[in-house]
Amino acid sequence: MSVTQQQVLDSLAKIKSPRGVALTNANVLSAISASDGKVFFSINVDAAEARAWESVRAEAEAAVRGIPGVTTVMVALTAERKAGAAPPPPTPSRGTPGVQSVHAHKPPPQGGAQSPMARQSEIPGVAAVIAVASGKGGVGKSTTALNLALGLRDLGLKVGLLDADIYGPSVPRLTGLHEKPELDGERKMIPLKRFGLAIMSIGFLVEEETAMIWRGPMVMSAVTQMLRDVAWGTLDVLVVDMPPGTGDAQLTLAQNVPLKGAVIVSTPQDLSLIDARRGLAMFKKVNVPVLGIVENMSYFQCPHCGTKSDIFGHGGARHEAEKLQVPFLGEIPLHMAIRATSDAGNPVVDSEPDGPHAAIYRAIAGQVRDQLKGVIAAA
């Protein structure tokens, strides 16, 4: 049974807002996504009012859940800072299913600024969450994230992959997964399983076009839900494929996801290196250790004769990493096999495990694992 936006609006019209008018007349609702029984929308209010709206969010969620045919509801409460106000430290929701992050104003505690890491609650059962980030799109971030996850799997670790690239989720394409996740008894989404990985993507929940039009504040809410309202089980490493770029949305994410480290993907071209530097600066700002830089599309390797050509120049990322004193994790060639396997949903580490590319990704994974050893062992 399909659920329409109008049905959702009709159920929301019965809820009274703290402004004294119906929720649908309070001018706070985002676009409503309703497809295949899954309903998503956000309530956007001023930070100062956020507390008063929490019960309305819960009421809205309950009302929508009561519509026949609705299987999943995600209602995010987001509070935007007024222009000119001091930047708020966003607070994540604390693991209660259905309760969303509220981007509320909170002054730092007396006696000094609070460390961003202190605000992040761990994800039960997950030893280390790491981000794969890039300064811009199209550098192979998602391809690297998936193959890195598979490399970590090959090292004997239990690994999950969260596609947090809400603006353009590519994990469904890269994994060939298009099913909708089911809910477990505690109403948590069960990640899809493929290649021995636990995989979650916003692309499993909404049509790609819908994800593209989501507004900034919803990014954090959606990612928080995918982190905390998913039954990840026990994982050594959860690899998060971040949205590309170093803007506010990415910064908020980096700040709110309990990251143990970040891997930055760059191509050798100058522009992309500049972007990678911005990525480094962003993680430094939020005290997330940079595990290293990966140079993707580092050189062209002819699929016929194997000859290497440095079409973009070569060694830029290694040099940059040395200069910035962050580890250089490795060079991945621009190769047909990587593109073809990626785009066919058969990532190269899984489909050609004995090939040279899988070996490169595994070597990168080995360095990442070594840096996380203490965290994984402690868990």
Where does this chain bind ligand ADP (CB under 6 A)?
134, 137-143, 170, 244, 296-297, 332, 334-335, 338-339, 342-343
Q: Which is nearer to ligand ADP, 139 or 358 (CB)?
A: 139
**Strand, helix or coil at 188?**
coil
CB of 344 to ligand ADP, least distance (A): 9
Q: Which is nearer to ligand ADP, 143 or 246 (CB)?
A: 143
Q: Which is nearer to ligand ADP, 99 or 329 (CB)?
A: 329
CB of 112 to ligand ADP, least distance (A): 37
User: Which long-range contacts (C-beta less than 8 Å, at least 24 apart) are formed by 9-17?
Assistant: 11/63, 11/64, 11/66, 11/67, 12/60, 12/63, 12/64, 14/63, 15/56, 15/59, 15/60, 15/63, 17/53, 17/56
CB of 254 to ligand ADP, least distance (A): 17
Q: Which is nearer to ligand ADP, 78 or 142 (CB)?
A: 142
Q: Which is nearer to ligand ADP, 105 or 335 (CB)?
A: 335
DSSP secondary structure of 215-250: -HHHHHHHHHHHHHSB---SEEEEEEEPPSS-SHHH
The amino acid at residue 232 is W
Q: Which is nearer to ligand ADP, 73 or 265 (CB)?
A: 265
**Which residue's CB comes closest to ligand ADP?**
140
Which whole-number Å values give the CA distances from 131 to 239, 264, 374, in the listed order? 6, 8, 18
Q: Which of 64, 68, 17, 57 is nearest to 39 (CA)?
A: 64
Q: Which is nearer to ligand ADP, 127 or 297 (CB)?
A: 297
Q: Which is nearer to ligand ADP, 56 or 297 (CB)?
A: 297
- The residue whose two tokens read 């299987």 is 71
CB of 165 to ligand ADP, least distance (A): 7
Query: CB 116: neighbour CB atoms within 10 A?
Result: 18
Which whole-number Å values give the CA distances from 291 to 6, 260, 294, in the listed order? 47, 9, 10
Q: Which of 92, 42, 93 is nearest to 64 (CA)?
A: 42
Sheet with 38-46, strands from edge to edge, namely: 33-35, 38-46, 72-80
Q: Which sign does the torsion angle of CA 48, 52, 58, 63 carry?
A: negative
CB of 131 to ligand ADP, least distance (A): 13
CB of 178 to ligand ADP, least distance (A): 17
Query: CB 58: neighbour CB atoms within 10 A?
Result: 16
CB of 173 to ligand ADP, least distance (A): 8
- The residue whose two tokens read 């994410």 is 253
What gap in Å lies between CA 50 and CA 53, rounded to an integer?
5
Q: Which is nearer to ligand ADP, 39 or 199 (CB)?
A: 199
CB of 197 to ligand ADP, least distance (A): 16
CB of 276 to ligand ADP, least distance (A): 12
Q: In sequence order, which residues have a C-beta less than 8 Å from that of residue 303 and are 6 or more positions away? A: 335, 336, 337
Q: Return the beta strands (E) in 153-234 as ranges.
A: 159-163, 192-194, 197-201
- Backbone dihedral region for residue 292 (phi beyond 0: left; psi -120 to 50: alpha; all else: beta): left
Q: Which is nearer to ligand ADP, 101 or 134 (CB)?
A: 134
CB of 230 to ligand ADP, least distance (A): 21
